[in-house]
Amino acid sequence: MEIGGVKISGKAALAPMASVADRAYRLICKEQGAGYLVSEMISAKGLCYGDRKTEELCTVDDRERPYALQIFGEESAYCGRAAGLLMKYKPDILDINMGCPVPKIAGNGAGSALMKDIDRAYSIVKAAVENSDVPVTIKIRAGWDEEHINAPEFAAAMESAGAAAVAVHGRTKTQMYRGKADWEIIKQVREKVKIPVIGNGDITTPEEAVLMYRQTNCDLVMIGRGSYGNPWIFRDVESFIANGANGNVPAPPSLEERLSVMLKQAEYAVSFKGERIAMKEARRTCAFYLRGIKNAAAYRSRCGTLQSLSDLEKLAEEILHNEN
């Protein structure tokens, strides 16, 4: 598929996830076959005011391409200006988050709150398009709540404002991450607009990815929580589709491979953020890699005490020695 002339060769994208899909994790997923990556959310207002922490999120690593920088905001003036400022980082695509349900984003009028105000959302997309040198896309939800499901109409309005693609998470804002994603709404968006549609929600296996393609006719699937501790899902989706979805999926990673990739992600994180911050975050991310192995609970508990990369290396060696 293509987004405004930007070619996306893979069959599955990594969903943007604040505090999870950082550069280290994105690179790991890319190495395992993710075809498209999106940054963590960047505050349009923070960028305009020169916030240093905000600017750190804007780094574009050539190894991640095709790659989008994602902004959020509730005012068109700031979003337009932020779009222009982001061009110096040379992203392939600029994405606008209109689906985040967390209170600190939606409660301030950004994220999924914009789905209640099509006119405001339209002005934001239009301002971003006017100030961007690259395609502008949006990420939305099914709607605000069960009584206000408006994704098809909303997506059509954003297309008319200049959006080059739309990613749709099949849950409402009030659902947060509970319940089941409604893939039918993704299908309805696909039928309503001419721009590419990316389907998101409840994909944890290659079979589910293929099912989403078939049921919704979407142009690309996007995987979020289903990739936690399992970046191999992107490789598996590629293989499953390449083999005609006939069950030919690579064997699950060995314990040694699982631990090796876990360590590689931590090493990336240390190189980008420094050991103190990276290892504090690794206490959670490394625990995901250990789910399902023997004595997982005890090892995951140990992750909570990680202080250094050498601590993690010792834990990995111990796991290999005890469980192989």
pLDDT along the chain (324 residues), means of 10: 94 92 95 96 94 84 95 97 96 97 94 96 98 98 94 98 98 93 97 98 95 97 95 94 73 93 97 95 94 91 94 95 83
Query: What's the angle, vertex CA 134, arms to CA 65 and CA 155, rounded to 5?
Result: 100
Phi, psi of 204 (to 5 degrees): -125, -5
- The pLDDT of residue 250: 80
Give a yes or no: residue 248 inside a domain. Answer: no
Distance CA 20, CA 122 (A): 29
Among the options 29, 48, 79, 100, which is catalytic? 100
**Same structural domain, 33 and 75:** yes
- The pLDDT of residue 77: 97
Q: Where are the alpha helices (DSSP H) in the chain?
A: 23-31, 44-48, 52-56, 76-86, 103-106, 118-131, 151-161, 183-192, 206-216, 232-242, 255-273, 275-289, 296-303, 309-323
**Same structural domain, 33 and 128:** yes
Domain that holds residue 8: 2-242
- The pLDDT of residue 278: 96
- The pLDDT of residue 92: 98
Number of domains the chain is built from: 2
**Same structural domain, 163 and 218:** yes
- The pLDDT of residue 243: 81
> pTM for the full model?
0.94
**Same structural domain, 124 and 209:** yes
100 is catalytic: yes
- The pLDDT of residue 136: 98
- The pLDDT of residue 37: 97
